[in-house]
């Protein structure tokens, strides 16, 4: 079947490396690159106090139930606040204890509302990419509105962290315009708006090569909020199984493992302990590279351009 009428957005690629991935030589000949990703969203989600018609009521601890239109949901607000107040610091301490660096997917407005956290992320050696101006659905924006939000996000994150972000990742899904806008802006070296591979890859935008570092929605603590993951040990087990498989494959073809984290979800003590257990497990093997996404991008530019 062919579709003759061009539709907006990237052309789908269902083949990719076609079973022949590049033989990657990660730094130190590592068999696996593990990218810990902390989504910093708390404070930028939909809120009545920010002029939104409703409070964000998804992706936290409470199951969905109806709520009167236009009314603040203080419990939901509070469940989000746990992330930036408590979960953030717990995760930062775990990363320090286990000597690993992570990447923060940061919503600009969220960092504006916790400036000490923004400074601390950089001070402790983690990197920051833009997760949007707010934690928002960009498919609801016009192309020009989205361009404006990208510009505002860059300026804000540069101000709160002291460095402009060079990577981009939308909330959940990009619009058909996002990748073009990110490339047109000129200062981004990669985006993470894809879930379709275990390795970075090049794509073409406006005739130019553009790097995509795919993210993972499966090895992701979002499963706790969606009710897909129960006790913390299930999360730990999932991460171990991912690691075991990729580490075995990495004997010949090293891959990348992305782990998606949210401060209001995995930042709770029992779940944070499960994450710490996994990190310690992975670190007990030789040839494991805990990499920031900026380092993975740099490696790809230098070795796979």
Beta carbon nearer to Zn ion, 67 or 172: 172
Structural tokens at position 296: 């993975």
Distance between start and end Cα atoms, the chain = 33
Beta carbon nearer to Zn ion, 31 or 134: 134
Which range binds Zn ion by CB under 5 A, 32-40, 68-76, 116-124, 139-147?
32-40
- Of the candidates 82, 99, 109, the one whose C-alpha atom is nearest the C-alpha of residue 36 is 99
- Of the candidates 217, 220, 203, the one whose C-alpha atom is nearest the C-alpha of residue 265 is 220
Are 225 and 61 spatial neighbours (Cβ–Cβ below 8 Å)? yes
To Zn ion, the closest distance from the beta carbon of 262 in angstroms equals: 7
Using the rule CB under 5 A, which residue among 33, 36, 39, 188 binds Zn ion? 39
Restricting to residues 222-281, name those near Zn ion by CB under 5 A. none
To Zn ion, the closest distance from the beta carbon of 171 in angstroms equals: 6
Size of the site for Zn ion (CB under 5 A): 1
Beta carbon nearer to Zn ion, 89 or 172: 172
To Zn ion, the closest distance from the beta carbon of 135 in angstroms equals: 7
Phi, psi of 202 (to 5 degrees): -95, 145
Beta carbon nearer to Zn ion, 168 or 247: 168
Closest-approach residue to Zn ion (CB): 39
Distance CA 221, CA 38 (A): 10
To Zn ion, the closest distance from the beta carbon of 28 in angstroms equals: 30
Beta carbon nearer to Zn ion, 35 or 39: 39
Q: Within a 10 A sphere around the Cβ of 295, how many other Cβ atoms? A: 18
Which range binds Zn ion by CB under 5 A, 34-42, 203-211, 218-226, 266-274?
34-42
To Zn ion, the closest distance from the beta carbon of 129 in angstroms equals: 11
To Zn ion, the closest distance from the beta carbon of 206 in angstroms equals: 27
Binding site for Zn ion (CB under 5 A): 39
């Amino acid at each position: 079947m062919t579709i003759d009428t061009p539709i907006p957005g990237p052309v789908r690629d269902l083949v990719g490396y076609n079973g022949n991935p590049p033989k990657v030589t990660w730094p130190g000949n590592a068999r696996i690159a593990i990218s810990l990703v902390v989504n910093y969203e708390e404070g930028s989600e939909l809120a009545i106090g920010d002029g939104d018609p409703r409070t964000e009521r998804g992706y936290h601890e409470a199951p969905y139930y109806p709520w009167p239109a236009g009314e603040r949901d203080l419990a939901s607000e509070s469940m989000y606040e746990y992330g930036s107040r408590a979960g953030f610091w717990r995760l930062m301490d775990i990363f320090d204890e286990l000597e690993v660096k992570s990447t923060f997917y940061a919503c600009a407005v969220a960092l504006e509302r916790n400036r000490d956290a923004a400074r601390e992320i950089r001070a402790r050696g983690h990197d920051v990419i833009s997760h949007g101006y707010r934690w928002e659905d960009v498919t609801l924006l016009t192309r020009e509105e989205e361009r404006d939000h990208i510009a505002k996000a860059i300026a804000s994150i540069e101000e709160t962290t002291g460095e402009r972000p060079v990577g981009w990742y939308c909330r959940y899904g990009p619009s058909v315009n996002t990748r073009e806008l990110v490339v047109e802006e000129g200062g981004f070296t990669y985006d993470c708006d894809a879930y379709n591979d275990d390795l970075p890859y090049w794509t073409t935008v406006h005739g130019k090569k553009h790097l995509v570092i795919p993210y993972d929605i499966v090895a992701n603590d979002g499963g706790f909020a969606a009710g897909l993951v129960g006790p913390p040990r299930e999360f730990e087990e999932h991460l171990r199984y991912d690691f075991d498989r990729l580490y075995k494959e990495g004997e010949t073809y090293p891959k990348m493992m992305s782990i998606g984290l949210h401060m209001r979800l995995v930042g709770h003590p029992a779940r944070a302990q499960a994450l710490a257990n996994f990190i310690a497990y992975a670190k007990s093997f030789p040839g494991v590279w805990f990499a920031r996404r900026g380092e993975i991008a740099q490696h790809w530019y230098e070795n796979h351009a």
